[in-house]
A and B are shown apart, each in its own frame.
Chain A
Amino acid sequence: MEVTINNIRKEFDKFAALNDVSLKIASGELIALLGPSGSGKTTLLRLIAGLDYPTAGQVFFGTEDASHSSVQERNVGFVFQHYALFRHMTVAQNIGFGLKIRPSATRPPKAEIRKRVSDLLDMVQLSGLENRYPNQLSGGQRQRVALARAMAIEPRILLLDEPFGALDAKVRKELRRWLREFHDRTGHTTVFVTHDQEEALELADRVVVMSQGKIEQVGSADDVYDRPQSPFVFSFIGESSHLPVDVRDGTVLFQGEPIGVSEGTNTVGDLFFRPEDVELTDDPHALFGKVTACRRLAGTRIAEIDIANNGHAPFHVEVEVPLHAPIELGSEARFRPTRWKIFPGQK
């Protein structure tokens, strides 16, 4: 099911949690809403589900305007952050709930509900646990029961709020891969909310990066990591450092001095670069500073460098260096970004 969100605005007591958000989700797509807390990602998910109503704007399911449909009418599968399993019902009763409460005209016969529940249990690999209660399950198992329960009603889309938030690191990785396979097998349009960029980049077809109630960028993992379109996306996704620069006559100047980097248009702004897109150099036209710390990171090292700032607090940057590079604490290092982006107007 294709979902279109048009100019959505949501206010809570005059505070705009979402401000003019538009998004098109293709049928069968797996989309991540990524952002820090307070960015409006969960609000957007709840608006799609019909658990909240927008102050302005529309939500379309296919060509149907669902903006004023209730959550029941929208027929969406929603997996809550803390699963919200019914604690007094067994696993099987939880999964069958959405079918059991249907009006008699559309309710499947008991035998069929039982069959559907057992099929779903198979699908989420929990066969044999149907008579357990939620508090007898591990976190990962509860998560999968919640997913099976949401799938039981044959939803038009599947919405997951921080699906792995409450799990430990190992289970989280397993479930992440499992969810990807699950999605590929069922082909449901799926939207999930996360604050974990690794999760979003690894799992989603497209990532929607959000900040302060606005969408900053929508794109594939490569897009948002390699071609960030705003300073927020550059600093939120992956590691990065930034320095205030002037661009004059095609040359980038830092503190009035050329640093061996050129740029097309004249501007005043912030130079962003990632630790891995830096080379060490002897060139006098380069950035230089004092190495204040050195950390081992898997196959490389990260050097933390302080660049003097005329008596003000120094600029702090992080640079990836080869394991055997002659970098020592307290020594001076010269380096130059090999890939960068300048966002104008930031000071």
Chain B
Amino acid sequence: MSDNRRTFRSPADEGFFTKLALVALSLVFLAFFLFMPLVSVFVHAFADGWDAYYEALIEPDAWAAIQLTLTVAVIAVPLNLVFGLCAAWAIAKFEFKGKAFLITLIDLPFSISPVISGLVYVLLFGTGSLLGPWLKSHGVEILFAVPGIVLATIFVTFPFVARELIPLMQDQGTGDEEAALSLGASGWQTFWYVTLPNVKWGLLYGVLLCNARAMGEFGAVSVVSGRIRGLTNTMPLHVEILYNEYNMVAAFAVASLLALLALVTLALKTLLELRFGAGAAGGRH
């Protein structure tokens, strides 16, 4: 008997030292590469105290950048919510020719460099293009103005909502929708009462990610914005300008605001995952 008295260990389990090493390695890595930079942003931001921090944020150009960033997000995120929902709906619930192509197309903004995304709009609306001069003669400015920034942001953040919803909707299939239709519901009622509630947590999650990226986008926006202080500077662009001017406190103050936004997004996402995870586990039958 005494031979069999070894403590049972799951075959997939590892020894104590292996576990310790893995956990320690991950923690050290995270601390050095993620946590310390984040802390240093806040340390630099508050290097000259509260007042300097506050001053840097209400400085007119910084304030304009904050407002512009929020404006862009307020336009881009709802539009991408609608586009993403349409695309996910089409892909998950219908069979049609060119579906695989559409899925690839949705991923395009993820796979190409943001700089290219910006340049696309320069080519499309620039002075050498067909559209640009025509629009200009009708008093519509796209490049180096707010519309261009919004367009570039929409382009870059398009995949977030769709990517989040497609697997979810595919997994749920069309059974619930058919049930609603067979009970007499119209297409719109089916969408409103059945489809949307079924994907609401996933949708919210996608919107959060989309929002985080919309506020933080640098590359594409920097190409189309023209970086006119107080007019076409978003927060990330403003941070770079301040940094290049060796205005460390102001740069990091604005940066800390962006970082804070990211942290809030992460917290909300974690909260949602708790809800969403529980809902997904219990809600399937």
B189 proximal to A (CB < 8 A): yes
Cβ-defined partner of A101 (8 Å) among B176, B189, B198, B284: B189
Nearest B residue (CB) for A139 = B285
Contacting pair A153 B184 (CB below 8 A): yes
Query: In this complex, which of B176, B179, B285 has the most chain A Cβ atoms within 10 angstroms of its Cβ?
Result: B179
Contacting pair B198 A88 (CB below 8 A): yes
Cβ-defined partner of A75 (8 Å) among B179, B184, B189, B282: B184
Cα A76 to Cα B184 in complex, Å, equals: 9
Cα A328 to Cα B285 in complex, Å, equals: 50
Contacting pair A84 B183 (CB below 8 A): no
**A51-B178, A101-B189 known; A82+B184 contact, CB < 8 A:** no
Residues of B close to A51: CB separation below 8 A = 178, 181-182
Could you tell me the distance in whole angstroms from the C-beta of B279 to the nearest C-beta in chain A?
8
Could you tell me the distance in whole angstroms from the C-beta of A40 to the nearest C-beta in chain B?
18
Could you tell me the distance in whole angstroms from the C-beta of A156 to the nearest C-beta in chain B?
12
**A80-B175, A135-B283 known; A71+B194 contact, CB < 8 A:** no
Q: Per-position contact with A for B191-212: 1 when CB-CB < 8 Å, else 0?
A: 0011001100000000000000
Contacting pair B184 A134 (CB below 8 A): no
Contacting pair B197 A84 (CB below 8 A): no
Could you tell me the distance in whole angstroms from the C-beta of B283 to the nearest C-beta in chain A?
4
Residues of A close to B181: CB separation below 8 A = 51, 71-72
Cα A153 to Cα B181 in complex, Å, equals: 12
Could you tell me the distance in whole angstroms from the C-beta of A13 to the nearest C-beta in chain B?
10
Cα A84 to Cα B184 in complex, Å, equals: 15
A227 proximal to B (CB < 8 A): no
Q: Per-position contact with A for B26-69: 1 when CB-CB < 8 Å, else 0?
A: 00000000000000000000000000000000000000000000
**A49-B182, A135-B282 known; A84+B189 contact, CB < 8 A:** no
Cα A49 to Cα B179 in complex, Å, equals: 11
Contacting pair B184 A98 (CB below 8 A): yes
B129 proximal to A (CB < 8 A): no
Contacting pair A71 B182 (CB below 8 A): yes
Contacting pair B180 A97 (CB below 8 A): yes
Residues of A close to B180: CB separation below 8 A = 86, 97, 101
Q: Per-position contact with B for A81-124: 1 when CB-CB < 8 Å, else 0?
A: 01111111000000001100110000000000000000000000
Contacting pair B285 A135 (CB below 8 A): yes
Interface size of B in residues (CB-CB distance below 8 Å): 20
Could you tell me the distance in whole angstroms from the C-beta of A148 to the nearest C-beta in chain B?
12
Cβ-defined partner of B179 (8 Å) among A72, A84, A152: A84
Contacting pair B182 A78 (CB below 8 A): yes
Which residues of chain A from 33 to 81 have any CB-CB distance to chain B below 8 Å in the complex? 49, 51, 71-72, 75-78, 80
B113 proximal to A (CB < 8 A): no
Cα A97 to Cα B176 in complex, Å, equals: 12
A274 proximal to B (CB < 8 A): no
Residues of A close to B198: CB separation below 8 A = 87-88
Contacting pair A72 B178 (CB below 8 A): no
Nearest B residue (CB) for A73 = B184
A142 proximal to B (CB < 8 A): yes
Could you tell me the distance in whole angstroms from the C-beta of A205 to the nearest C-beta in chain B?
24
Residues of B close to A76: CB separation below 8 A = 182
Cβ-defined partner of B194 (8 Å) among A82, A86, A135: A86
B170 proximal to A (CB < 8 A): no
Could you tell me the distance in whole angstroms from the C-beta of B201 to the nearest C-beta in chain A?
10
Cα A102 to Cα B178 in complex, Å, equals: 16
B258 proximal to A (CB < 8 A): no
Nearest B residue (CB) for A88 = B197
A188 proximal to B (CB < 8 A): no
A149 proximal to B (CB < 8 A): yes
Residues of A close to B194: CB separation below 8 A = 86
Contacting pair A72 B184 (CB below 8 A): yes
B185 proximal to A (CB < 8 A): yes
Residues of B close to A86: CB separation below 8 A = 176, 179-180, 193-194, 197
Which residues of chain A from 181 to 238 have any CB-CB distance to chain B below 8 Å in the complex? none
Contacting pair A84 B186 (CB below 8 A): no
Cα A80 to Cα B193 in complex, Å, equals: 18
Nearest A residue (CB) for B176 = A84
Cα A129 to Cα B185 in complex, Å, equals: 25
Cα A202 to Cα B194 in complex, Å, equals: 36
Which residues of chain B from 85 to 141 have any CB-CB distance to chain A below 8 Å in the complex? none
Taking Cβ atoms with an 8 Å cutoff, the residues of A that contact B are 49, 51, 71-72, 75-78, 80, 82-88, 97-98, 101-102, 134-135, 142, 149-150, 152-153
28 sample A-B contacts, Cβ–Cβ < 8 Å, listed by A number: A72-B181, A72-B185, A75-B184, A76-B182, A77-B182, A80-B175, A80-B178, A80-B179, A82-B175, A82-B285, A83-B285, A85-B179, A85-B285, A86-B179, A86-B180, A86-B194, A86-B197, A87-B283, A87-B284, A97-B180, A98-B184, A102-B184, A135-B282, A135-B285, A149-B179, A149-B183, A150-B183, A152-B183
Taking Cβ atoms with an 8 Å cutoff, the residues of B that contact A are 175-176, 178-186, 189, 193-194, 197-198, 282-285
Given contacts A51-B182, A86-B197, 7 further A-B contacts (CB under 8 A): A51-B181, A71-B182, A86-B176, A86-B179, A97-B185, A134-B285, A150-B182
